């Protein structure tokens, strides 16, 4: 019973940490590098017949060139709504609508803009690391409570705490790898 409780706490913490890493990766994907990628617009909310709908549910995406994203709506009558949503977004790109598809042409960011984006990415990665560490701390509090209730020995607490620290280090390292990749992507344009 005791091992089940500690295992449950550790597994729950690990799953939450992995979700935090996935969230950081999604945040990085939404940062424009000058390359076209559907991740920049797929979560964009479009007013579709009075309902807020994600663009990925309304259209297909293709990237025929490195700096060109083509959005093909499943319903051609939604072209205007999609175009309006893109214009109102923080992408800073004017869509080109030819009546059947929308084209987004991504300009090459300036050196200054790329450095600003690197700062943004570093902040998002730090937020991710802090989230992972907070999850470790919350799990430690649960384990401490188990020890206080007599369900966990101090030796067992130490062993499980070390396991928790190793899991935390792995997740923080994953965020650091994502950061290094995104930084290289931003500065290597």
How sure is the predictor about 15, in pLDDT bands with cuts at 50, 70 and 90? very high
Pick from 11, 15, 37, 34: which is nearest to 26 by CA? Answer: 37
Q: What pLDDT, on the 0 to 100 scale, is given for residue 149?
A: 87
Q: What is the mean pLDDT of residues 62-87?
A: 88
* Fold (CATH) for 38-105: Gyrase A; domain 2 (3.30.1360)
Q: What pLDDT, on the 0 to 100 scale, is given for residue 23?
A: 92
Q: What pLDDT, on the 0 to 100 scale, is given for residue 44?
A: 86
- Alpha carbon distances (Å) from 134 to 53, 70, 107: 33, 40, 38
Is the distance from CB of 129 to CB of 172 less than 8 angstroms?
yes
Residue 5 has pLDDT above 60, yes or no: yes
Residue pLDDT, tens place only, 39-67 = 788 888 888 888 898 888 999 998 888 88
Q: What is the mean pLDDT of residues 104-132?
A: 88
Task: Report the alpha-carbon distance of residue 123 to residue 21 in Å, rounded.
Answer: 14
Residue 11 has pLDDT above 90, yes or no: yes
Q: Where in the chain is the domain with CATH 1.10.132.20?
A: 2-30+110-187
Please state, rounded to an integer, the average pLDDT across all residues of the chain: 87
Q: What pLDDT, on the 0 to 100 scale, is given for residue 28?
A: 85
Q: What pLDDT, on the 0 to 100 scale, is given for residue 184?
A: 87
Give the best-scoring range by mean pLDDT among 49-53, 79-83, 142-146, 165-169.
165-169
Task: Report the alpha-carbon distance of residue 25 to residue 44 in Å, rounded.
Answer: 17
Q: CATH number of the domain at 2-30+110-187, out of 1.10.132.20, 3.40.50.10190, 3.40.50.720, 2.60.40.10?
A: 1.10.132.20
Task: Report the alpha-carbon distance of residue 13 to residue 7 in Å, rounded.
Answer: 10
Residue 189 has pLDDT above 60, yes or no: no
How sure is the predictor about 173, in pLDDT bands with cuts at 50, 70 and 90? very high
Give the best-scoring range by mean pLDDT among 3-7, 29-33, 156-160.
156-160
Q: What pLDDT, on the 0 to 100 scale, is given for residue 2?
A: 56
Q: What pLDDT, on the 0 to 100 scale, is given for residue 1?
A: 45
Strand order in the sheet with 68-73: 59-65, 68-73, 102-105, 96-97
Q: What is the mean pLDDT of residues 24-41?
A: 79
């Amino acid at each position: 019973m005791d091992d089940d409780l500690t295992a449950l706490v550790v597994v729950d913490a690990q799953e939450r940490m992995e979700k935090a890493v996935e969230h950081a990766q999604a945040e990085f994907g939404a940062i424009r590098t000058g390359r076209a990628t559907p991740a920049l617009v797929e979560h964009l909310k479009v007013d579709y017949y009075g309902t807020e709908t994600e663009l990925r549910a309304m259209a297909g995406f293709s990237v025929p060139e490195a700096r060109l994203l083509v959005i093909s709506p499943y319903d051609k009558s939604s072209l205007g709504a999609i175009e309006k949503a893109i214009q109102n977004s923080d992408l800073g790109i004017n869509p080109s609508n030819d009546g059947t598809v929308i084209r987004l042409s991504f300009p090459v960011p300036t050196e200054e803009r790329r450095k600003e984006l690197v700062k943004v990415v570093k902040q998002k990665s730090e937020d991710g690391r802090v989230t992972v560490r907070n999850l470790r701390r919350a799990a430690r509090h649960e384990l401490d409570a188990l020890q206080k209730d007599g369900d966990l020995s101090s030796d067992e607490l130490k062993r499980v705490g070390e396991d928790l620290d190793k899991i935390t280090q792995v997740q923080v390292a994953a965020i650091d790898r994502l950061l290094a990749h995104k930084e290289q992507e931003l500065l290597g344009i």
